[in-house]
């Protein structure tokens, strides 16, 4: 039995053609049909050069198993989430590798109501059946349809803001030659904004590098354009635009942690006390904002499948990860890279202040290191050594996701990557940037010495 190596904790990602190819994609389609047992499934693909062929093989597998397939064509992952819930489908599959290298591809899966499918909820069952590669064909093949939900999707996005109150902002948008530019163009006629468009056309060759603004070098063009044009803010996305990144009016990159607090505050002020879900990497700012507005901050393990499951359990109005994933109850509890920036433009319009001013107080109250990655041979040993080093000083120790420790006016989270030999460090303090910087340096020395 052939081992399929492209299945990860909550999606499929692998190098084409050795880890993922048309044969494997067809088998995944058939296995998805056997595990989920859908009647109707939405599919779509991102801008990668191999995506249409991989999607075609996936569709062939679904059709063989009697599933009716509704193809929405070139799309972002969130458009699959929207189409699945909006059209009442039994599942959805996005063919995408997001911010992975250009010779990679992958898939993200949901079931009815856009509920996530992870390793805990059926993904590894799909893997096992695809590896076994023994299928009983359906009594009748499924039928292939095209589906266009773009107008309903755009109207849903616009429902998060009162367009009449928006100011005529100047906004730099850098799609990184991914898929976000198409949706910006669909939104543009409805909004009073002037868009300065960078790397706007979809191009799976990624002539300006793989779209991922978490890579510092990928921010240069956006920063320069914000400053050159005197823009009110800058925006960037990854390839399938399920993550959104912000730059203030000075071209400064805003850590996703502070955007989580900003959006949590916006929802609670609008809707009253509610639950907000957050990841455990950086937490104090979010908890402070949510509790001050009468809400409840709920911690979840990092990762889109885990956040969505916890949001459904808590009926949370909003969920945010510092990695720039933002989740919304009214968006089938799914993540969107479009809703966040619309909400932020509304906040900037209402406050008549720059984005830098909106986050400055929170950044001063809870300075943070941002996520720092280190590639090491044995991440588990590093976590064990860090816990041993700080155990006696710690007020609290948690293992929700990696290791989180509170030590007076500072805390840290150290976690292992799900997919590579990497540890990820985040440090924050209460109003003391020097303390945060010193402890970050101290922890990095511990990591490098292990």
Q: What whole-number distance in Å separates Cα of residue 102 and Cα of residue 210?
A: 7
The residues facing 173 across adjacent strands are: 197, 235
Structure tokens that stand for 80 in this block: 């699959």
Name the residue among 404, 422, 424, 400 with its Cα closest to residue 413.
404
Cα→Cα distances 51→17, 36, 103, 267, Å = 12, 23, 11, 36
Q: Give me the catalytic one of 85, 98, 349, 369.
A: 98
Question: How many CB atoms sit inside 10 A of residue 431's CB?
Answer: 11
Cα 281 off chain centre by = 15
Say if residue 201 is exposed, middle or buried (CB neighbours under 10 Å; 0-12, 13-18, 19+): exposed
Is 98 a known active-site residue? yes
Q: What whole-number distance in Å separates Cα of residue 160 and Cα of residue 270?
A: 11
Name the residue among 431, 430, 427 with its Cα closest to residue 441.
427
Q: Which residues are known to be catalytic?
A: 98
């Amino acid at each position: 039995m052939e081992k399929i190596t492209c299945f990860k904790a909550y999606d499929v990602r692998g190098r084409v053609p050795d880890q993922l190819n048309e044969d494997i994609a067809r088998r995944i389609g058939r296995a998805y049909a056997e595990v989920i047992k859908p009647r109707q499934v939405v599919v779509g693909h991102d801008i990668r050069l191999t995506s249409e062929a991989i999607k075609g093989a996936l569709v062939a597998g679904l059709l063989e198993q009697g599933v009716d397939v509704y193809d929405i064509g070139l799309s972002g992952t969130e458009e699959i989430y929207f189409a699945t819930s909006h059209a009442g489908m039994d599942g959805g599959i996005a063919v995408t590798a997001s911010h992975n290298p250009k010779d990679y591809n992958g898939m993200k899966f949901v079931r009815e109501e856009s509920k996530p499918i992870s390793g805990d909820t059926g993904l590894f069952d799909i893997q096992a059946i695809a590896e076994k590669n023994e299928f009983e064909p359906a009594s009748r093949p499924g039928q292939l349809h095209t589906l266009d939900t773009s107008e309903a999707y755009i109207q849903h996005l616009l429902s998060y803001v009162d367009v009449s109150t928006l100011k005529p902002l100047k906004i730099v948008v850098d799609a990184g030659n991914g898929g976000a530019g198409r949706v910006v163009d669909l939104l543009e006629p409805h909004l009073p904004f002037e868009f300065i468009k960078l790397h706007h056309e979809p191009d799976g060759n990624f002539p300006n590098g793989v779209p991922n603004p978490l890579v510092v070098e990928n921010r240069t063009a956006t920063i320069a354009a914000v400053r050159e044009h005197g823009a009110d803010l800058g925006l960037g996305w990854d390839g399938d635009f399920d993550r959104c990144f912000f730059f203030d009016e000075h071209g400064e990159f805003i850590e996703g942690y502070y955007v989580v607090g900003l959006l949590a505050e916006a929802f609670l002020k609008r809707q009253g006390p509610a639950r907000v879900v957050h990841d455990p990497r950086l937490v104090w700012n979010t908890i402070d904002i949510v509790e001050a507005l009468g809400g409840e901050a709920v911690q979840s393990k990092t990762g889109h499948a885990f956040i969505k499951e916890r949001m459904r359990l808590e009926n949370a109005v909003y969920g945010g990860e510092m990695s720039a994933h933002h989740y919304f109850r009214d968006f089938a509890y799914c993540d969107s890279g479009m809703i966040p920036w619309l909400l932020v433009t509304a906040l900037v319009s209402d406050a008549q202040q720059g984005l830098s001013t909106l986050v400055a107080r929170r950044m001063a109250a809870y300075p943070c290191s941002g996520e720092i990655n280190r590639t090491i041979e044995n991440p588990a040993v590093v976590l064990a050594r860090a816990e041993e080093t700080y155990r006696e000083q710690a007020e609290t120790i948690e293992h929700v996701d990696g290791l989180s420790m509170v030590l007076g006016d500072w805390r840290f989270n150290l976690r292992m990557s799900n997919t590579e030999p990497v540890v990820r460090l985040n440090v924050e303090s209460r109003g003391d940037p020097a303390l945060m910087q010193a402890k970050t340096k101290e922890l990095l020395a511990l990591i490098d010495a292990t």
